[in-house]
Amino acid sequence: MNEGASINELAPHRRLRRLELMITRRLDGLLHGDHLGLLPGIGSEPAGSREYRAGEDEVRRMDWSVTARTTVPHVRTVDADRELATWVLVDASASMDFGTAEFEKRELAVAAVAAVGFLTAGSGNRLGAHVVAPDGVRKYPARGGRTHILGLLKALLEAPRATPATADVALADAVDALARGVPRRGLMVVVSDFLDGLDSDGLGPEAPRWEQPLRRLAARHQVLAVQVGDPRERELPDVGLLTLVDPETGRRREVPTASRKLRERYADAARRQQEAITAALRRAGAAHLRLSTDRDWVADIVRHVHAQRRLARAHRKGVTA
User: What is the pLDDT averaged over residues 73-87?
Assistant: 69
User: What is the pLDDT averaged over residues 298-306?
Assistant: 86
Identify residue 165 by its one-letter amino acid code: A
Q: Rounded to two decimals, what is the model's pTM?
A: 0.79
pLDDT one-digit tens code per residue, 11-27: 567 778 888 888 877 76
Average pLDDT, the chain: 81
Q: Which helix (H) or strand (E) holds 243?
A: strand 241-245
pLDDT > 90? residue 169: no
How do the domains of the chain map onto residue ranges? Answer: 3-35+82-320, 46-78
Residues 6+ apart with CB under 8 A from 265: none
**Rounded CA separation 105/40 (Å):** 26
pLDDT one-digit tens code per residue, 196-216: 888 766 666 789 999 999 999
Which comes out higher in pLDDT, residue 72 or 192? 192
Q: Which CATH code is given to the segment(s) 3-35+82-320?
A: 3.40.50.410
Neighbours of 219 (CB within 10 A): 11
- Give 40's pLDDT tier (boundaries 50, 70, 90): low
Identify residue 80 by its one-letter amino acid code: A
pLDDT at 25: 77
